[in-house]
Structure 1
Amino acid sequence: MTFQAESQEGNNNEMQQKRNFSAFASLGLLDRFLAVWIFLAMAVGIILGNFVPSMSPALEKGTFVGVSIPIGSYWVVGNDLALSWAFLPDKSALRSGLILVGLGRCIAMVLIWNALAGGNNDYCAILVAVNSILQMVLFAPLAIFFIRVISHEDVGSISYSVVATSVAAFLGIPLGAAVFTRFTLRFLAGPAWYDRVFIRFASPWSLIGLLYTILVLFAAQGHQVVHQVVSVVRVAAPLIVYFTIVFFTTVSICRMLGFEYQFLVTQSFTAASNNFELAIAVAVATFGPNSDQALASTVGPLIEVPVLLGLVYALRWIAGRRGWK
């Protein structure tokens, strides 16, 4: 009986590994090594920001509703308040930047983490759509509430109109354009052409836009990231704790509620991921590109990418060890 049980457990682990490999192998070259491309984009951006003095001023010249147009061009396509106070009691500006990061629910890279860990793609798409709509409605009032009301931060420059305009411009417009494009093309060319031709053509461009945005962000903030290492480390610490706690808390709750593995994956990575692009856009529009708030929000992707990638492999290992189906 013991031998049969061990044999069955071995078969289950092998099947789980095959499913994980299949999910990974089904991704394209750009998706499969997205983490590598992101790190390269960060590195190139930091190098440009430090060794090309004219880079940052040039990026700041073109603006729309107060945010750099090069940064905003990507948009075509839990809150960590307690941790920010615990780790940064003497740095109100960095706390405000962390709060903005915590408010933004992820609507881009969570699709990659979900695919790598074997989550449910349809469920993930639904959560991304819901998060997009909720952020357009709730991001501005929550930012004002947590920064000015709860934290009592002395930031006279932040206002509802500035934050709401940034969110509407860099989240609402792209979402509206995507909805219009989808229904128009499906009506004119048919669902089959839209799914088979247009989606295959358009999908890589969203990730290319993401990489471009990261490169531009780090080119604009590269000098600060390098020359304010202490601040970067102090911001990184609560972010690491935040991502880890939120992720494993969600995993535990989903297990207790009886979620299937694929839905547990999607729910957990959606809860732990953040829309750092929106946080940076709002921080830059509200406090300026050279502010500590912008620096804190820029550290978000620098920490989120390796931590979430590590959580992908940690969850796959746990699922294989415990035989989660």
Structure 2
Amino acid sequence: MGIFERYLSVWVGLAMMAGLAGGILFPDSFAWMGSLEYANINFIIAVLIWLMIYPMMIQIDFSAIKNIHRRPKGLIVTLTVNWLIKPFTMALLGILFIRHLFGDFMGLITPDLANDYIAGMILLGVAPCTAMVFVWSQLTKGDANYTLVQVAVNDLIMVVAFAPIAAFLLGVTNVTVPWSTLILAVALYIVIPLLAGLLTRKVLRSNDALHAFGARVKPLSILGLISTVILLFGFQAHQILANPLDIILIAIPLIIQTVLIFAIAYFWMYKWKEPHSVAAPGGMIGASNLFELAVAVAISLFGLNSGAALATVVGVLVEVPVMLALVSFANRTSNRFPVAYSH
């Protein structure tokens, strides 16, 4: 493990501070970079995430994917946790903390603002991760083929389940899926890097050449992750410093939700004796979120400057450091799982 991977949490912490400082000192530059977007997907961040994903995509073996249906337990856990548990625990935690503990009991959040914050948190809870899970999978030595199938199946379900679940939990009837955001995210974060990985495999051919090339491009993942953190915190620097208390209050239930969902999926995988290369990425998919989709829906339903939009942004900001902590935990406990399937 290189120095960047060994001290990744330190570099991310420094990147967060650098982003805040850059957003305050060079607001026009960060505003310009933040404006380079379509359907709430920033193209600079999209390129950086692509750099993070590409090293893993060259590991995808299409000949092995066809046999994954013989190992359905990992998919069952992922789909059950993501769609039958996660949205509802997020709603319950939001109501408990934001409305009752921080609102009614402590008086820190007004009722109207509490409803907005809870709405944004619910939207995060109904959008399991598409892009960053490939990074978390790579950092935990996940099964690249199985991770791809897990993400792809979740995305297919998200197409039909996102709107009705969000509408039910929000108590509204006009939740419209922003198809441009969803389709663009799938294309940028799955289709294009997957095709690039397939082309790379065809060009390099031998496993030795693939391993050597993978080692050379692996630093791109860390560079992309650090750069992404700098930009995310730079884009939101003024909002973070203007609402420090609310940012903290929203972050608390979001962090609890992230750890809870990971724990449920990870422990379930452990009880079912799934290998660590399936269990770790499976826990990461539900724990992290497709924040572009959540932000887009929050803005369309509640407005750009709404509390709901702010809550989805807080989800973006807390995700990377919390997920890195979960990656570290998963790596430390890998010896408790089977190394591979026994059949």
* Common topology (TM > 0.5): yes
Q: Distance in 1 between matches of 2:33 and 2:300?
A: 13
1:86-144 C-alpha deviation (Å, 9 max, x unpaired): 3334433323332333234345655666677xx5522xx23431243235433354442
Segment of structure 1 superposing worse, 84-93 or 105-114: 105-114
2:144 paired with 1:145? no
- Secondary structure of the 1:88 match is helix
2:57 paired with 1:83? no
Q: Distance in 2 between matches of 1:324 and 1:196?
A: 25
1:258-312 C-alpha deviation (Å, 9 max, x unpaired): 4456654454444434444664566568767654344322322543444444445
Q: Distance in 2 between matches of 1:32 and 1:111?
A: 19
Which of residues 155, 159, 167 is equivalent to 2:176?
159
1:2-58 C-alpha deviation (Å, 9 max, x unpaired): xxxxxxxxxxxxxxxxxxxxxxxxx33333322222222221112222333324532
Q: Distance in 1 between matches of 2:324 and 2:40?
A: 33
Cα drift, residue 224 of structure 1: 0.8
| Letter in structure 2 aligned against 1:227 | A
Give the 3 Å change call, closer, same or farther, for CA 65–228 of structure 1 in structure 2.
Answer: same
| Letter in structure 2 aligned against 1:179 | L
Give the 3 Å change call, closer, same or farther, for CA 145–49 of structure 1 in structure 2.
Answer: farther
1:184-213 C-alpha deviation (Å, 9 max, x unpaired): 232233233651343233332233223222
2:156 paired with 1:132? no
For structure 1, the residue ranges without an aligned partner over 5 or more in a row are: 1-26
Segment of structure 1 superposing worse, 175-184 or 96-105: 96-105
* Contact 1:67 1:284 (8 Å CA) reproduced: no
Give the 3 Å change call, closer, same or farther, for CA 317–222 of structure 1 in structure 2.
Answer: same
Q: Distance in 1 between matches of 2:282 and 2:333?
A: 16
1:51-200 paired onto structure 2 within 5 Å: 51-77=25-51, 78-79=86-87, 80-89=90-99, 90=111, 91-106=114-129, 110=133, 121-122=142-143, 125-153=144-172, 159-160=176-177, 163-192=178-207, 195-200=210-215
Q: How many residues align?
A: 289
Give the 3 Å change call, closer, same or farther, for CA 317–191 of structure 1 in structure 2.
Answer: closer
* Contact 2:142 2:280 (8 Å CA) reproduced: no
2:15 paired with 1:41? yes
Give the 3 Å change call, closer, same or farther, for CA 293–208 of structure 1 in structure 2.
Answer: farther
* Contact 1:81 1:99 (8 Å CA) reproduced: yes
Give the 3 Å change call, closer, same or farther, for CA 53–168 of structure 1 in structure 2.
Answer: same
Give the 3 Å change call, closer, same or farther, for CA 50–63 of structure 1 in structure 2.
Answer: same
For structure 2, the residue ranges without an aligned partner over 5 or more in a row are: 52-85, 100-110, 339-343
Q: Distance in 1 between matches of 2:120 and 2:209?
A: 39
Q: Distance in 2 between matches of 1:37 and 1:285?
A: 34
Cα drift, residue 166 of structure 1: 0.9
Structure 1 vs Structure 2 CA RMSD: 3.6
2:233 paired with 1:212? no
TM-score normalized with structure 1 length:
0.71
Q: Distance in 2 between matches of 1:250 and 1:304?
A: 17
Q: Distance in 2 between matches of 1:191 and 1:203?
A: 18
Segment of structure 1 superposing worse, 257-266 or 168-177: 257-266
TM-score normalized with structure 2 length:
0.68
Segment of structure 1 superposing worse, 94-103 or 268-277: 268-277
- Secondary structure of the 1:121 match is coil
* Contact 2:49 2:131 (8 Å CA) reproduced: no
The structure with the largest alpha-carbon Rg is 1
| Letter in structure 2 aligned against 1:86 | L
